């Protein structure tokens, strides 16, 4: 899976902040970019020279199962693994930090649910890094 990298080989990712997280939940940010955000914080790095992903920084429990970054929007097993990797104290960060009340009945499907999972994982990452108050 080729990434959208700039001339320096860096992914063109939005900043990891509340605006970006809400943009993911509101589907204002493309699926590809949402995946790339999670891949980046999992440790996957794209080498535009080789047009290949490197996984040396990816935790072994991810690297062993997914040597290449998984499409979390399309892969239920990858999203389940993402959900399970969120520490229990961080499971409610969507509600606690963003005030997200969920989607309305009839207005969501697996894609929206997986996006919410990805946002919760990103919030958990931010919490573990000390980026949230």
User: Is 39 part of a structural domain of the chain?
Assistant: yes
pTM of the model: 0.89
Domain boundaries, position 99: 18-127
Is 15 a residue whose pLDDT tops 60?
A: yes
The pLDDT of residue 7 is 41
User: Is 35 part of a structural domain of the chain?
Assistant: yes
* % of the chain at pLDDT higher than 90: 80
**Alpha-carbon torsion (53, 80, 117, 88), positive or negative:** negative
- Whole-number average pLDDT of the chain: 90
The pLDDT of residue 8 is 41
Is 67 a residue whose pLDDT tops 60?
A: yes
Domain count, the chain: 1
The pLDDT of residue 62 is 97
Q: Going by C-beta distance under 8 Å and a sequence separation of 6 or more, which residues neighbour residue 71?
A: 1, 35, 78
DSSP β-ladder status, 45-47 and 52-54: antiparallel
The pLDDT of residue 24 is 97
């Amino acid at each position: 899976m080729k990434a959208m990298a700039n001339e320096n080989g860096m992914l063109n990712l939005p900043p990891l902040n509340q605006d970006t997280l809400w943009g993911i939940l509101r589907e204002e940010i493309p699926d590809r970019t949402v995946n790339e955000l999670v891949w980046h914080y999992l440790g996957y790095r794209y080498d535009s020279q080789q047009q290949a992903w490197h996984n040396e920084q990816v935790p072994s429990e991810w690297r062993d199962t997914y040597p290449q970054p998984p499409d979390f929007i399309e892969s239920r097993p990858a999203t389940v693994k993402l959900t399970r990797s969120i520490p229990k104290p961080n499971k409610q960060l969507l509600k606690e930090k963003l005030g997200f009340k969920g989607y309305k009945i009839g207005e969501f499907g697996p894609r929206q649910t997986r996006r919410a999972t990805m946002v919760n994982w990103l919030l958990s990452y931010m919490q573990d890094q000390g980026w949230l108050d």
